[in-house]
């Protein structure tokens, strides 16, 4: 019999999220109805999708700093190629997924085959994509997105009691559900093991390079999904993805995922993204300047990493006994 249990480190971020959602109910009348929270999830959906992709890379021991620039590039390419024509939507989306796949492959192959640190590789990709977008657009993207392209980010379906549920929220739930299912499988468990002890995985016959390559590909593909959602919601801009890579990393560490790999869960990473969006929404309602967002992200990253480092040091000093295995298994999400 299989029981589900939250992974270590997930409970704190869920508690913080509940507190923030309660605070929003008192701070703004819009959150007196379910529609207010659905609107929050709609705004958070692109970041949640990005955070899940970043989780795959971070938990395997790497970083992906290119996702924000990739989002910008995908939106600019989509606007130019779709040019407001619904007939172009399907093939352009397929092209965007292919472009995302290519970026993920380049990041993963340079990291694993040339042994360049992922931080440097993806920082280089960030600069390449930023430069290419500026060269192509001159800072002013051309073209327009078709109504059908924007449905995923703007549209929704009417649900009794809840009102209109945005399609972006449905996409969010599907992505998180699929990621949880993947991480409960053998490949997902090996991905975590690579971040925890790469040498042990190699000695056991695990294909470490392929696993890390898969993590970068998944991150880039989910960045493409986030770009489609964000384009529908926010429109076309040469700065649409600016800073999203740092927001995604902040969300992941806020969810208790350890930088360096080996610990963390999909649910915690997704909850970290929603928590971050809820925090910024609360600060906005309280009249706090939006310019403080970067400072808040910096404080969260420093505090989360310091807390994780302290916990790791304590575990080395006072190792816990592993409980005796029982017939039933426990899947942590």
Nearest to 274 by CA among 12, 67, 13: 13
Residue 295: its pLDDT value, please?
82
The rounded distance, in Å, linking the Cα atoms of 220 and 223 is: 5
Report the predicted TM-score, pTM, of the whole model to 2 decimal places: 0.90
Rg (CA), the chain: 20
Q: What is the pLDDT of residues 166-203, one digit of tens each?
A: 999 999 999 999 999 999 999 999 999 998 888 888 88
Domains belonging to the chain, first-starting first, are 10-311 (1.10.3470)
Task: Give the C-alpha distances (Å, rounded to integers) separating 192 from 154, 195, 266, 307, 312.
Answer: 35, 5, 11, 20, 16
Residue 287: its pLDDT value, please?
78
Phi and psi at 157, nearest 5°, equal -125, 140
Q: Which of 72-76, 234-238, 288-292 has the lowest mean pLDDT?
A: 288-292
Specify the residue for token string 């969810």. 255
The rounded distance, in Å, linking the Cα atoms of 49 and 170 is: 11
Residue 262: its pLDDT value, please?
74
Give the count of alpha carbons within 13 A of 316, CB side only: 5
**Given a cut of 70, is residue 4 above it in pLDDT?**
no
Mean pLDDT of the chain: 86
Are the CB atoms for 298 and 305 separated by under 8 Å?
Answer: no
Are the CB atoms for 88 and 144 separated by under 8 Å?
Answer: no
Q: What is the pLDDT of residues 11-52, one digit of tens each?
A: 788 888 999 999 998 887 888 788 889 989 999 999 999 999
Q: What percent of the chain has pLDDT over 70?
A: 88
């Amino acid at each position: 019999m299989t029981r589900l249990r939250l992974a270590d480190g997930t409970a704190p971020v869920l508690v913080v999220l509940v507190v923030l959602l309660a605070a929003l109910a008192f701070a703004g009348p819009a959150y007196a109805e379910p529609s207010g929270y659905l609107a929050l999830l709609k705004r958070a959906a692109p970041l949640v999708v990005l955070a899940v992709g970043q989780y795959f890379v971070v938990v395997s021991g790497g970083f992906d700093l290119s996702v924000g620039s990739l989002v910008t590039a995908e939106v600019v390419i989509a606007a130019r190629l779709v040019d407001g024509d619904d007939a172009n939507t399907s093939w352009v989306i397929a092209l965007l997924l292919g472009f995302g796949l290519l970026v993920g492959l380049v990041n993963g192959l340079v990291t694993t085959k040339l042994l360049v640190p992922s931080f440097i590789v993806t920082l280089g990709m960030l600069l390449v994509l930023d430069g290419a977008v500026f060269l192509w657009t001159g800072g002013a993207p051309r073209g327009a997105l078709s109504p059908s392209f924007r449905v995923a980010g703007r549209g929704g379906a009417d649900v009794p009691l809840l009102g209109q549920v945005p399609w972006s929220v449905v996409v969010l739930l599907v992505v998180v559900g699929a990621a949880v299912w993947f991480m409960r499988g053998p490949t997902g468990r090996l991905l975590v093991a690579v971040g925890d002890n790469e040498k042990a995985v190699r000695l056991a016959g695990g294909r470490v390079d392929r696993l890390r390559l898969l993590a970068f590909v998944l991150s880039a593909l989910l960045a493409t999904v986030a770009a489609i959602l964000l384009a529908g919601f926010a429109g076309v801009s040469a700065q649409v993805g600016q800073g999203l890579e740092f927001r995604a990393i902040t969300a992941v560490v806020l969810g208790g995922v350890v930088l360096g790999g080996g610990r963390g869960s999909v649910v915690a990473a997704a909850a970290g993204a929603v928590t971050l969006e809820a925090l910024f929404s609360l600060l906005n309602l309280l009249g706090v300047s939006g310019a403080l967002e970067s400072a808040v992200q910096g404080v969260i990253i420093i505090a989360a990493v310091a807390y994780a480092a302290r916990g790791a040091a304590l575990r080395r000093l006072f190792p816990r006994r592993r409980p005796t295995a029982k017939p039933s298994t426990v899947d942590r999400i």
